[in-house]
Amino acid sequence: MTDSLFRHGLEDAPQCVLIVNGVEHQVPMQSSVAAALHYLGYLATRAHPVSGEPRAPFCHMGVCFECLVSIDGQPQQRACLTQVMPNMSIDQVGVGTY
């Protein structure tokens, strides 16, 4: 996780807690999980199952399947199609799974 390449465009946007890899963060509430991850500085969402290299969301509309993360214990969810909910828990998967 590094300095984010993104910033939020609205002032005073309501925020909520998002738990990423076990760590609590504050993110804008009206956001997809993928956008929230980018906001926090996570560019890559997962490791590619064949190459092991990091991959990041490409389309943000559900057709590229690069944004797969575990959401509230459910594996392989598309982060770009899921809205952030308070206290949602996101876990990034490592090498070997899809």
* Secondary structure of residue 37 in the 3-state scheme: helix
Question: What's the maximum distance between 2 C-alpha atoms anywhere in the chain?
Answer: 42
Output the smallest distance, CB 5 to other proteins, in A: 5
Question: Which of 72, 73, 62, 70 has the alpha carbon at shortest distance from 92?
Answer: 70
Side-chain-side CA neighbours of 31 within 13 Å: the count stands at 24
Using the Cα atoms of residue 90, residue 18, residue 21 and residue 73 in order, give the sign of their dihedral.
negative
Nearer to other proteins, 35 or 88 (CB): 35
Binding to other proteins in span 30-69, by CB under 8 A: 30-32, 35-36, 38-39, 43-44, 48-51, 53-66, 68
Applying CB under 8 A, which of residues 69, 79, 80, 88 lies at the interface with other proteins? 80
**Binding site residues, other proteins, CB under 8 A:** 4-11, 13, 28, 30-32, 35-36, 38-39, 43-44, 48-51, 53-66, 68, 74-76, 80-81, 83, 95-98
